[in-house]
Amino acid sequence: MFLYLFMIIVRIDPSNAFRIHVSVAKYTANVDYGSVEMDDQEHDVWIDLTSHCSLSKFVNEMARKIIWGSGQQLVVWGLDKESGTE
């Protein structure tokens, strides 16, 4: 029996990527089986501009990292680095 191990390192070209930093304040997730107290969270999501990105894909990525109930929703704010406005 032979075991082959392949290691693939994926690197995003910095000129084709940007980072979205997500800060989540402490909250209560109202889930089907009751409520869960969640602590503050910090997440970084790297987006590769050479691949397709949509708000739906971003929300799905956040759903893998953050627990929220059916009556709760993800709210996204953006900051324009050039003007410094939301």
Q: Is residue 86 part of a domain?
A: no
pLDDT score recorded for residue 4: 53
Q: Output the six-digit token pair for 65.
A: 């990292």
Q: Is residue 49 part of a domain?
A: yes
More confident site: 61 or 80: 61
Q: Is residue 73 part of a domain?
A: no
CA-wise closest residue to 45 among 36, 37, 53, 33:
53
Q: Output the six-digit token pair for 52.
A: 């397709």
Domain that holds residue 24: 14-65
pTM more than 0.75 = no
pLDDT score recorded for residue 46: 82
pLDDT score recorded for residue 86: 58
How many domains would you assign to the chain? 1
Please write the tens of the pLDDT for every residue from 1-54. 455 555 555 566 767 778 888 888 888 888 878 888 888 888 888 887 787 778
Q: Is residue 76 part of a domain?
A: no
